[in-house]
Amino acid sequence: MATSSVSKGCFVFKPNFKKRRTSVPIDEYFNKGKNESEDSKLRFETYQLLWQQMKSETERLQEELNKNLFDSLIEFLQKSHSGFRKNSRDWGYQIKLREIPTAALVLGVNVTDHDLTFRSLREALQNNVTPYVVSLQARECPDMKHFLQKLVSQLMDCCIDVESKEEENVQITQKTTHCSMDSLCSWYMNVTQKTDPKKPGKKRTSSSQWQSPPVVLILKDMESFTTKVLQDFIIISSQHLHEFPLILIFGIATSPIIIHRLLPHAVSSLLCIELFQSLSCKEHLTTVLDKLLLTTQFPFKLSEKVLQILINIFLYHDFSIQNFIKGLQLSLLEHFCSQSLSVLCCNLPEAKRRINFLSDNQCENIRRLPSFRRYVEKQAAEKQVALLTSERFLKEETQSLLENLHVYHTNYFLVLRCLHQFTSSLPKCPLGRQIRELYCTCLEKNIWESEEYASALQLLRMLAKDELMTILQKCLDVFRSSEKQLGNTAKRIEEFLAQFQSLDAQAKEEEDTSGSQSKRLQKTDLYHLQKALLEMKELRRTSKKPTKFEVLREKVVNFIDTLVREHLLPPDTQPLHEALYCSAAHSLREHLNAAPRMALHTALNNPYYYLKNEALKSEEGCIPNVAPDICIAYKLHLECSRLINLVDWSEAFSTVVTAAEQMDANSMTSEERDEIIHARFIRAVSELELLGFIKPTKQKTDHVARLTWGGC
């Protein structure tokens, strides 16, 4: 590139974008270090296939959960715009035309999920209501000028057909210089006139159902908008509503009362507000867990600790479903990356086929599994020798164990749902109101050994007949959903329901007999009546014979208890569970629960931990002079009290830096060396102040105040 010129100047060389740094493919991470194995590529492909299936399921689930909300919103928009289309002279319509139709959409505090919801809502509105849908955020609209500019710029991009868009390109450049409601109204009139359905040759999209489609404005974070901007825009828009049909959608994260806090009555009276409530984020989480983890559709499962980490982050940090799904994806990736036998984490026929092609190293990995070793120890001596020596016998046994594991999961989830039906409505919910709480308890230990389970059984023994029959009917529906497994259980529950129904007929007969006895008792005098009643009371007290209902109820409780003890065993009791369950809780916690202060302390106190430079290795309490300047200054400041003398700190820094350096008189003088060290010290102190470890103090001019304690 030539740089010759008549006059001196500054020449700019643009970077060559072809010489970009190529990123490392994800599948290569499966081949690094201790995770290197011959099936790494297969594990990565399995991970990709499984995650695509889970991702598509979550997207389908999101559409189903938002369908009712979007349908009601679309119906509201269509009704709100009907008055504008009729152009009625009725007094009621004229009053209504002065009010802006407004949908208050309460989405909850999970703000990170709102973008996905609004994106789906915008697509639904454009496909069913109007092509003119604008979405604004508070950070884009600090004042009225920027508000109108963003509104106009997005509206100009929304056109009914391609031809009108081409014709308006010239108008767009002219109107961007001056943005006002008058220009918007004239633009809207021109666009709607050009798309008149009576004129031939104009094609209309499916979303433009009317001659004058409304303009929908979505304010994503209504609480963050400036009050003055909202008030001015609503007042101006209400005056032009007869020629610019506007519909507002407020995205609210907290409570609908925020509308009246931001807007005075004179402004809020210009809005015709209707409230829409989205599904609770906790209910959304329960549905996601039910479709992704509490099912046999996907073989991948989470251990108790990993699941608890993800749930705690959701409940105590952000209530974000998207972040929970990302954590689930990270767990899936960590499992396939760290567990060599995750190659078997696929559907059962494919897993059986892969077992036949396992190498000798993979067979040894199976023998090293703790669950498999416990299984081998329980077998006979001859079978133990065959499992440890014969590869063929090991593969056959592995196929059988893997099939048993899939059957175990099918029975496990059926009995878990049945137990949840019994315990979710009990007083104080000893086993939790949500099924995820019960699932975490069952993953951790034998649930029948807990005190909460014992108290739940006591409460079940006091249920009324109607409540018990209702729960049994729900359990029957659960077991009927999978007739291949636990088919006898469904028949047994049907027998219990039939016996409860037969008790009604017997109860009527007993009432008839007791009625005849009461009639006989009424014929006697008061003395004999009291005597007879006391004798009956004493007879009941001495006999203490349970009724038929109590006997049948006890049988039902014992039956459920037997199912729980037989099928709700913790997963770690099953052989080969390591192939399907992610147990990397520590690694997952490091990635998701970031501790920046601790990481910063580790980097400054022990730079070798991150830099991996052998020269930085040092004994505890020592300060190597080859360490970065900020590390030396940080270690020295840890030895000081609340106020640090800068002179003493500088002398100590200079002592450490020059401790092992050889003095070279020819290279520089001592004064020059001191100036360089002093400059390095000033830079290190400035960096520590920037990181928040120290700050200037007015108590003493040559001192700084220390801000952190306890090595953090």
Q: Could you read off the pLDDT of 52-68 as tens digits, one per residue?
A: 999 999 999 999 989 99
Integer Cα distance of 118 and 134 in angstroms: 11
Q: How far, in Å, CA of 476 to CA of 461, rounded?
A: 19
Q: What is the mean pLDDT of residues 385-412?
A: 93
Structure token digits, residue 152: 């106009």
| Two structure tokens written together for 528 | 């004999």
Query: Are 306 and 331 contacting, i.e. CB atoms less than 8 angstroms apart?
Result: yes
Question: Are the C-beta atoms of 564 and 393 separated by less than 8 Å?
Answer: no
Name the residue with tokens 């459920």. Answer: 560
φ/ψ region of 123 (left if φ > 0, alpha if ψ in -120 to 50, else beta) reads: alpha
> Which pLDDT belongs to residue 702?
86
| Amino acid making up residue 680 | R
User: What's the mean pLDDT when you consider all of the chain?
Assistant: 83
Average the pLDDT over each of 295-299, 348-352, 513-517, 568-572 and give the range with the smallest value.
513-517
Report the candidate in 222, 48, 580 with the shortest Cα–Cα distance to residue 233.
Answer: 222
Is 196 a residue whose pLDDT tops 60? no
Neighbours of 81 (CB within 10 A): 21
Q: What is the mean pLDDT of residues 328-343?
A: 92
Contact 114, 107 (CB under 8 A): yes
Tell me the DSSP string of 433-496.
SSHHHHHHHHHHS-GGGSHHHHHHHHHHTT--HHHHHHHHHHHHHHHHT--SSSHHHHHHHHHH
Give me the mean pLDDT over the 208-232 stretch: 84
515-556 residue pLDDT tens = 544 444 455 567 777 777 787 777 766 666 778 888 899 999
pLDDT of residue 174: 39
Confidence of residue 317 (pLDDT cuts 50, 70, 90): confident
Percent of the chain predicted with pLDDT > 70 = 81
Q: How many CB atoms lie within 10 A of CB 431?
A: 21
Nearest-Å Rg of the Cα atoms of the chain is 37
Residue 10 pLDDT level (bands cut at 50, 70, 90): low
Q: What's the rounded mean pLDDT across residues 151-173?
A: 56
**In terms of Cα–Cα distance, which of 139, 134, 279, 144 is closest to 216?**
134
What DSSP state is assigned to residue 661? P
DSSP category for residue 317: I
- Tell me the average pLDDT across 696-709: 86
C-beta separation of 582 from 302 below 8 A:
yes
pLDDT (average), residues 257-271: 91
b/e string for 477-507 if b means 16 or more Cβ within 10 A? ebbeeeeebbeebbebbeebbeebeeeeeee
Could you tell me the pLDDT band of residue 23, with boundaries at 50, 70 and 90?
Answer: low
Within 8 A by CB and 6+ apart from 680, the residues are: 629, 653, 657
- Give per-residue pLDDT as tens, 599-638: 888 899 888 888 888 888 877 767 788 889 999 999 999 8
- Cβ proximity of 343 and 368 under 8 Å: no
By mean pLDDT, which of 162-171, 280-289, 326-335, 336-345 is the weakest?
Answer: 162-171
Is 520:529 a contact under the CB 8 Å cutoff? no
pLDDT of residue 543: 62
pLDDT at 84: 58
Dump pLDDT digits (tens) for 659-679: 755 545 455 678 888 889 999
Q: What is the pLDDT of residue 130?
A: 87
Q: Tens digit of pLDDT for each residue in 449-500?
A: 999 999 999 999 988 889 999 999 999 988 887 766 677 888 899 999 999 8
Looking at residue 3, what is its pLDDT? Answer: 52
**28: confidence class by pLDDT, cuts 50, 70, 90:** low
3-class SS of residue 274? strand
Q: What is the mean pLDDT of residues 18-35?
A: 56
| Strands 694-696, 703-706: pairing kind | antiparallel
Distance of alpha carbon 52 from its chain centroid, rounded?
A: 17
Mean pLDDT of 171-189: 67
- Beta bridge partners, 273, equal 102
> With bands split at pLDDT 50, 70 and 90, how would you rate the model's confidence at 565?
very high
**Average pLDDT in the 567-575 region?**
93
175 pLDDT exceeds 50?
A: no
CA distances from 148 to 142, 144, 155, 229 (A): 11, 6, 10, 10
pLDDT at residue 207 in the model: 44
* pLDDT bucket at 12, cuts 50 / 70 / 90: low
The tally of CA atoms less than 13 A away on the side-chain side of residue 391 is 11
**Residue 167 above 60 pLDDT?**
no
Residues 439, 441, 442, 448: what is their CA dihedral angle, to the nearest 10 degrees? Answer: -130
The rounded distance, in Å, linking the Cα atoms of 206 and 215 is: 16
Beta strands at 246-252 and 643-645: parallel, antiparallel or unpaired: unpaired
Rounded to whole angstroms, how far apart are CA atoms 559 and 567?
A: 12
* Per-residue model confidence (pLDDT) at position 155: 84
pLDDT computed for residue 698 by the predictor: 84
